[in-house]
Structure 1
Amino acid sequence: MGAIATVASIVLAISFVVFVAFFGRLPALRRTPIAWLHRLLCVNLPNAIKGLDNRLTGGRISSSLVRFGSYIMYDRHPTVLIFYILLLSVGEYLYLPAVWSRLSPLVKVTGTIAIMLPYIFLYLAATSDPGTITPANHAREMARYPYDFTLFHPGAVCNTCNLLKPARSKHCSVCKKCVARCDHHCIFINNCVGAGNHHYFLLLLLSTAVLTAYGGLLGVHLMATSIRLRFPHFAILPWNARDATGRDMSWTDWLTAWSWGMQYGGRGTVGAGGVAMGAVTLLALMTTPLVVALFNYHVWLIYCGTTTNESMKWADWQMEMDDGCAFKRRMDSEKRVKDPSVEPLWTRWPVEAEQVLVRTRDGNPPAKDLNLPGEGEWEKVWRVRELENLYDLGFWDNLVDVFVPGFMFRDPQMPVVEERKRKRKRRRARRTYLS
């Protein structure tokens, strides 16, 4: 039982730390123990170490570590990408020799496909242009989405690229470029996730989840088969397992049987590489929930018609609403006069903005002499669910926009009113992370 306990403890600890580090900043977990642990791990503990180092060495060690951490986290380099590839390849090298001879032809074929797909989608996601905005394609990117006057307003200029920022774009400080429909910068692919490679990133997550689940479940099946050679009445589920006398197997005996399977169950013989195979199986089983959770989160963002970058903006707006400093009013897109120097006269997205959202410092409505867009009286907003998400056309159309960029774009010659009637599918922002 010692081997299974040791491996499980190590893998579980690593998986939990990774989960806290990657998901602790999500707005949905802001008031949960996960967020508290993230602050402890990423803020409080480093500050305490820095304070101790200031006393002992004048801060020399901590400053060196900060520079190294900034390079690892905020500079573009393939370190984590290489680590991810090694994690896949080394795991497969340790796993496959112990099980290959016991697999049926069908499992060998499907397993080979499951192994190859993550490498293929990783290559495509890492090497594809995420949607870099350049002077050559700037006009096209400006016409991709309209400004919603909520998260994105016309006239904003990127100080680095010296270009007007298209709606839904973001300048990546790691890649040093503006990216169309930027979701986030992913260190696992050493690239941004944007309009050009978002679909490859989703397929990478899906194929990795399938691979880890496939390898984990297959390993459990093969180990259970080997265990039954030694414990004939063993079962994968503890309440179905029986000992040699036919009585219910105790939890201790059941875990002992699994420990034997992890050490010697690779090929059903003692010392045949079962330890490596069992460790990889356990790693795959414990990694699968993390990958599945990340994939489900990005599918949920597509369902909501938003991106990771935009979800953070919605969170910032909710804080303004909590302070009573957010106001909205109606935008009549038919009467709105566009300034072609800061936004295109038409965009290929089928709907236009119908609201204006602003913040004030004193909690009072904006003054009438500010010449802000929109018409009518300003209304205080308290919840994100009271707002319209311009970029949400429904799950299917959102998914099509991710996988086939440009497919949802309308013909600029088609009357806007008729097009809006055909595509009147917008959803309120209540379907975001705050729901």
Structure 2
Amino acid sequence: MDVQWVLVCHGCLTVLVVVSFLCGQWPIFQGTFIERFHYFLTVGAYDYFLRFVMYVCGSRARDAVLSVEYFCCDRPNPILQIIYLAIIGVTYYLVAQSSFKYIPGHYLSEVHRFASFFAVVVGVLLFLLTSFSDPGTVKSENVTQYLSAYPYDNIIYKEKECSTCKIPKPARSKHCGVCDRCVARFDHHCGWMNNCIGEKNTRYFIAFLLWHFLLCLYGTVVLGLVVAGQLKELKVIYILTAYYGVENSFFSLAPHVVQWLLSSYNTQILLMVFLAVISLLLVGFFGYHLHLCLTNTTTNETFKWQDYLSWKRRLHEAKASTAALKASINGITAEQKPPQSKWRAFFRRSPLDDVDATKDNIFDKGYLRNLHEIVFPLSSRRSVLRSKVD
């Protein structure tokens, strides 16, 4: 029983760490223990570690740690790629080692041995395709092509030159400080891919997220059916009710069944929890990026639009406040007017209620055309190439 509780605590701790690390900044966790734990994992623990190194070993040791941090976080490196391959390889090995002996089973046919391997291979191929494909690097040779593909909206994008590359900066592009290059329709730099996500590989990145969500969901369901099949074949419910006198109801049987599963199939249970948590995280990331694709917005532009709308809202509020102040001054200096009804004054709208800050995204052309632009990038279309030649 002690071992079972250790496994339960281990699973709960794993879920807490994964959710806090990956989702601690989500608005739903604002002001909660998850947000504070996320800060400790991402900033606080490292800061205490640097102070400890400085106190024990001196400034040279701290500078050495900072140089390692610079290489790992601010320069292209394959560390997270290796970690991804290790995670997917070890997970598949554990699933095969612990559960393939039960396939075929009561609910599963032998085809799942080969289907699971095929699913993992496709996932790795999508990972490699996203990692090593060109995200849409803007160079002096193709800058006119991107300038014609992405016009300036004169709102969040205006004509300017990249201070690093010394070439005109097309709309929706950004100079990546990690890769040290300008990327067309820049979304973000993905450390897991060791590559930027831009115009030409966003389609591969979206496919990667969707496929890995389905892969984790498939693994969770298969492991669940393996455990359910063993529960059926070993007649656990029958033994509990017929020989141990347990009442044949869900609430009576559940504790005994869970105890039996944790003692006999703890590896499968832990793998199920791990895959289920990862699938939930992946579907969240996929849903977010799918929304960006449907609205033809990038992660980089999300922050630009937030800054622009915040500025525009403050400007409207300032104008409305000025207009209200002038109206009040004019009312004081003007001739006495008949008193206005209190009810009418109560229901009268404030000038601040008329504040309007809208997002005028000229790149949003409708769901279907936006998706078509993701699958078939603008810079590779014949019309753009023809305009480049002209």
Task: State the TM-score, normalized to the length of structure 2.
Answer: 0.76
Is 1:216 the equivalent of 2:245? no
* Distance apart, 1:304 and its partner CA: 2.6
* Distance apart, 1:122 and its partner CA: 0.7
C-alpha separation in 2, matches of 1:294 and 1:64: 34
Aligned position for 1:401 = 373
Is 1:110 the equivalent of 2:115? yes
* Distance apart, 1:100 and its partner CA: 2.8
Is 1:147 the equivalent of 2:152? yes
3-state SS, counterpart of residue 85 of structure 1: helix
Query: Which residues in structure 2 correspond to 1:329-340 (within 5 Å)?
Result: none
Query: Which residues in structure 2 correspond to 1:102-141 (within 5 Å)?
Result: 102-103=103-104, 104-141=109-146
* Distance apart, 1:313 and its partner CA: 1.7
Aligned position for 2:262 = 259
Deviations 1:36-83 (A, max 9, x none): 544444345544555565555555554433332232222111111011
* Distance apart, 1:107 and its partner CA: 2.8
The letter for the 1-side match of 2:139 is T
Distance 1:254 1:387, change over 3 A: same
Which deviates more from structure 2 when the two are superposed, residues 140-149 or residues 39-48? 39-48
Distance 1:84 1:258, change over 3 A: same
Query: Which residues in structure 2 correspond to 1:415-434 (within 5 Å)?
Result: none
Which deviates more from structure 2 when the two are superposed, residues 211-220 or residues 98-107? 98-107
Query: Which residues in structure 2 correspond to 1:354-369 (within 5 Å)?
Result: none
C-alpha separation in 2, matches of 1:100 and 1:7: 22
Aligned position for 1:298 = 289
Distance 1:259 1:21, change over 3 A: closer
**Contact 2:189–2:196, Cα closer than 8 Å, also in 1:** yes
Query: Which residues in structure 2 correspond to 1:178-197 (within 5 Å)?
Result: 178-197=182-201
* Distance apart, 1:318 and its partner CA: 4.5
Query: Which residues in structure 2 correspond to 1:16-27 (within 5 Å)?
Result: 16-25=16-25
Q: Which runs of 5+ in 2 are unaligned?
A: 323-353, 385-390
C-alpha separation in 1, matches of 2:229 and 2:11: 24
C-alpha separation in 2, matches of 1:79 and 1:207: 22
C-alpha separation in 2, matches of 1:43 and 1:90: 28
Aligned position for 1:377 = none
Task: State the TM-score, normalized to the length of structure 1.
Answer: 0.68
3-state SS, counterpart of residue 388 of structure 1: coil
* Distance apart, 1:230 and its partner CA: 5.3
Aligned position for 2:75 = 75
Aligned position for 2:169 = 165
Distance 1:245 1:387, change over 3 A: closer
The letter for the 2-side match of 1:116 is V
Deviations 1:64-115 (A, max 9, x none): 3333223222211111101101111111112113333413144344323322
* Distance apart, 1:140 and its partner CA: 0.4
**Contact 1:132–1:177, Cα closer than 8 Å, also in 2:** yes
Q: Which runs of 5+ in 1 are unaligned?
A: 236-241, 264-274, 328-362, 365-380, 413-435
The letter for the 2-side match of 1:136 is E
**Contact 1:114–1:210, Cα closer than 8 Å, also in 2:** no
Query: Which residues in structure 2 correspond to 1:320-359 (within 5 Å)?
Result: 320-321=311-312, 324-325=314-315
Identity of aligned residues (%): 25
Aligned position for 1:89 = 89
The letter for the 2-side match of 1:404 is F
C-alpha separation in 2, matches of 1:52 and 1:116: 43
Distance 1:116 1:44, change over 3 A: closer
Aligned position for 2:336 = none
C-alpha separation in 2, matches of 1:211 and 1:284: 9
Deviations 1:216-235 (A, max 9, x none): 11101111221341522599
**Contact 2:223–2:272, Cα closer than 8 Å, also in 1:** yes
C-alpha separation in 1, matches of 2:231 and 2:175: 55
* Distance apart, 1:7 and its partner CA: 4.3
Distance 1:219 1:4, change over 3 A: farther
Aligned position for 1:267 = none
Q: Quick check: which one's helix share is greater?
A: 2
* Distance apart, 1:22 and its partner CA: 3.9
Distance 1:93 1:41, change over 3 A: closer
The letter for the 2-side match of 1:256 is Q
The letter for the 2-side match of 1:293 is G
**Contact 2:237–2:253, Cα closer than 8 Å, also in 1:** no
* Distance apart, 1:15 and its partner CA: 4.5
**Contact 1:141–1:180, Cα closer than 8 Å, also in 2:** yes
Is 1:246 the equivalent of 2:248? yes
CA RMSD across the alignment: 3.6
**Contact 1:74–1:174, Cα closer than 8 Å, also in 2:** yes
- Report the structure number with the largest CA radius of gyration: 2
C-alpha separation in 1, matches of 2:111 and 2:13: 35
* Distance apart, 1:398 and its partner CA: 1.4
The letter for the 1-side match of 2:311 is E
Aligned position for 2:204 = 200
Distance 1:280 1:254, change over 3 A: same
Deviations 1:413-433 (A, max 9, x none): xxxxxxxxxxxxxxxxxxxxx
C-alpha separation in 2, matches of 1:45 and 1:326: 43
Distance 1:159 1:231, change over 3 A: same
**Contact 1:161–1:178, Cα closer than 8 Å, also in 2:** yes
